[in-house]
């Protein structure tokens, strides 16, 4: 029965407008890029990362304070296995530039504050991606590799060669067909292992942003 406040002559145009609006909304939703991972598909992208805090390292019974860390990376990924509810992805990163801005400010090294610049590679990485919608995925990842700096890191007379270990969680959002943006936060550890003494580990929280072309066979 028509609503008394809506004239009968206006019901048909109103119904047509509602139908047109719903049709347009459905077409818009279906036109949005989907982020579907397929077993065997590849990904190539680039990312930038920065520490959220000044890096710290345990040394001499206390802690040494450092500057911030920055990195620029190139990424290759390959889907090892994919299912409707999750995907396992192999990830490798080339880091053409890594920076530790200040090394360090501890009591024993107060005059040694110049930055360190490095080149790195993380060939061992795994990522677990879980879809939250057709365009959005959540992920957890871990990676291991190394960085070679132009000077000793994390402290004077330690070593130029450092192992790099990082764990991260974040979001992947499809913004165009086959194009995906990534936002992640994680923990990063740099250390020369047992290859030198002193050997404090440098730890910091990092945030990263990336853009990848995904899904090509």
Residue range 85-140, pLDDT digits in tens:
899 999 999 999 999 887 655 455 555 567 889 999 999 999 999 988 888 999 99
- Under the banding of pLDDT at 50, 70 and 90, the label for residue 3 is very low
- Reduce the DSSP state of residue 24 to 3 states and report it: helix
For 164-182, write each residue's pLDDT tens digit: 999 999 999 988 888 999 9
pTM: 0.74
- Reduce the DSSP state of residue 20 to 3 states and report it: helix
- Reduce the DSSP state of residue 103 to 3 states and report it: coil
Check residue 33 and report its DSSP letter: P
- In this predicted structure, the answer to whether residue 82 has a pLDDT above a threshold of 80 is yes
């Amino acid at each position: 029965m028509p609503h008394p406040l809506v004239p009968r002559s206006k019901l048909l145009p109103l119904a047509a407008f509602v139908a047109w609006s719903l049709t347009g909304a459905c077409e818009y939703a279906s036109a949005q890029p989907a982020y579907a991972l397929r077993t065997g598909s590849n990904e190539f992208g680039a990312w930038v990362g920065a520490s959220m805090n000044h890096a710290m390292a345990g040394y001499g019974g206390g802690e040494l304070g450092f500057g911030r860390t920055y990195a620029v990376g190139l990424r290759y990924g390959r889907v090892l296995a994919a299912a409707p509810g999750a995907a396992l992805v192999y990830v490798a990163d080339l880091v053409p530039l890594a920076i530790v801005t200040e090394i360090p400010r501890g009591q024993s090294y107060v005059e040694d504050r110049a930055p360190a610049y490095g080149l790195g590679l993380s060939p061992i990485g795994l990522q677990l991606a879980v879809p939250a919608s057709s365009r959005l995925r959540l992920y957890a990842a871990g990676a291991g590799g190394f960085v070679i700096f132009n000077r000793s890191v994390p402290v004077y007379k330690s070593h130029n060669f450092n192992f790099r270990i990082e764990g991260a969680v974040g979001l992947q959002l499809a913004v165009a067909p086959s194009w995906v943006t990534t936002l992640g936060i994680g923990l990063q550890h740099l250390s020369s292992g047992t290859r030198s003494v002193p050997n404090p580990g440098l730890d910091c929280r990092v945030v990263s942003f990336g853009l990848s072309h995904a899904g090509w066979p």
